[in-house]
A = this chain, B = another copy of it.
Amino acid sequence: MEQPAIPTLAETVAEYARRAKAASRAIALASRETKDVVLREAADAIVGSMAEMILVANGLDVADAVEKGLSAAMLDRLRLDAKRLAVVADQTRAVAAAPDPVGEVSDERTLPNGLRISHVRVPLGLVAIVYESRPNVTADAAALCLKSGNAVILRGGSEAARTNGVLAQAFRAALARNGLPTHAVTPLPTTEREATKHLVQLTGIVDLAIPRGGESLIRFVTEHARVPVIQHYKGVCHVYVDGDADPEMAERIVVNAKAQRPGVCNAMETLLVDRAGADVLVPRLVAALRAARVEVRGDAAVQALVPDVVPARAEDFDTEHLDLIAQVAVVDGLDGAIAHVARHGTFHTEAIVTRDAAKAERFLREVDASLVVWNASTRFNDGGELGLGAEIGISTTKLHAYGPMGLAELTTRKWLARGTGQVRG
C-alpha cells in the first residue's frame, strides 16, 4: 500500500501565504474605525484575557531556551512579564491612535486635456516579516501591517514559537470578532530555515519581505528572495569629532551615542577623532567612555596617546558590537572621516561634532546614510524620535524606505485618472 501523500514544506508555506494574501483584500478595504477596534481589542486581550496564556507559553519557550544554553542576553530578549506585556499593549494602542495612511491623496491636479489626476496611498498587500528572538516584534508587526491595510505572514524564531503563536492569536481573535479574516495575521506553522526560503520566493503572493535580525538571517533572505526585500541591516555607526568641536559637547554626544543603550542599531560603534586636536580630544573622550564602563579599543595613533588602551583589530572597524565596546581611530580631518565612513559605514547613522558649519554641511551632503547628524547623538535615528510615529525598523535599503520605516512606508501609491472620454492623439 502506498503512503498517503502529505503536503511538502513548499506546498504548506505557499498555501498559508495564499490564504494570507486572500485575506489582505478585506484588510485593504476595511475602514480606519474597524482596523483601530481590532488593534485596541488585541491590546486589551494581551494585558487581559490572554495575558496568562501568553506568559505560560513564554515560560515554556524560556525553559527550552535555558535548556539549550541560550545566552543571558538572548534569554532577556525572549522573556516576557506583566510589565513588558503592558509595553506591547501600549505600542499596539499607539498604532491604533496613529493616522491611517491608506487613502491619503496627493499630487491632485487637472491636466490640460481635462483629465483629473491624483495619487492615492494603497496597501502593499501581503508583507512577510522574518525575525529572531524578540516576541514583541510579533505584536508590532501585526499592528503596523493591519493598520496600513496589509496582511502579514510572520516567521519568528523557533525559540519564541509558542509565545509568538499566542500573541498572533490575540490579533486573529480580534479580527474574527470584527468580521475580518483571521488569515490576515498568519504565523507560519514552522520555523525551519527552508520555510523562510520558500516564503521569500512566492512572487505574486508575497509583496514585500522584511528580514529583521542578525547578518546571517539577512544574508539568507537576500540570497534566496525573489520578492522585494527591505533590509533592516546592521548599524556600524560613527561619530566624527572634528578639531573644531566643543570638547564638552563632543564628550556628551559620544557617551550618549555609545552607552545610553548599546544593544541597538543606532548606537555608536566607532569614534573617529580629527588628528588636529587628537592629543587633547582622544584622552578626554577615552576617559569619558571608560567612565561609562565602555571597553575602548584604539588604533596605533590612539594607543600612542592612551598607552593602556586595548589595540583595535582591523575587523573591529566593521563590527556591530551591540555592547559596551567602542573602537577609536584618528583620521586626517574631515576628508579622512568621510573616507573612513564611505569604507566602513553601513548606510545607517553617521554624526559629526564640530563648530564649523561649512565642515558640517559638507559632511551632511557627502556622507551616505539614512540619517546624517550634526552636533547630536546617533541615537535619534528612530521613527518615534524623528516624529514619524511607530516604526517596523530602520531600513538600510535605499529603495522605497531609507531609514525609519513607519506606516506610510508599508503602503505604496497608485495613480487615479478621472476623465470625460479623453483619448490619446
Contacts and interface: CB of A to CB of B under 8 A. Distances in A.
Interface of A: 25, 29, 109, 111, 115, 117, 122, 124-125, 203, 207-208, 222-223, 226, 228-230, 246, 249, 252-253, 256-257, 260-261, 342, 360, 364-366, 368-377, 379-381, 385-387, 397-400, 402-403, 412-424
14 contacts: A111-B386, A115-B376, A117-B386, A124-B398, A222-B226, A223-B226, A228-B228, A249-B421, A260-B423, A371-B417, A376-B421, A386-B417, A399-B412, A403-B415
Contact of A424 (B208, B385, B414): B385
Given A29-B366, A260-B423, A417-B376, A117 B252 contact: no
A110 B265 CA distance: 24
A253 B421 contact: yes
Given A375-B421, A424-B380, A415 B117 contact: no
A402 B413 contact: yes
Contacts of A412: 398-399, 402
A115 B378 CA distance: 12
A387 B111 contact: yes
A207 B208 CA distance: 18
Given A402-B412, A421-B246, A365 B29 contact: yes
Closest 4 CB pairs of A and B: A376-B419, A256-B423, A400-B400, A379-B424
Contacts of A229: 228
A78 to B, nearest CB: 25
B399 A399 contact: yes
A29 to B, nearest CB: 7
B414 A372 contact: yes
Contacts of A386: 111, 117, 415, 417
A380 to B, nearest CB: 6
Contacts of A372: 414-417
A111 B384 CA distance: 11
Nearest to A223: B226
Given A419-B373, A423-B260, A400 B403 contact: no
A422 B376 CA distance: 5
Contacts of A376: 115, 417-423
Contacts of A208: 398-399
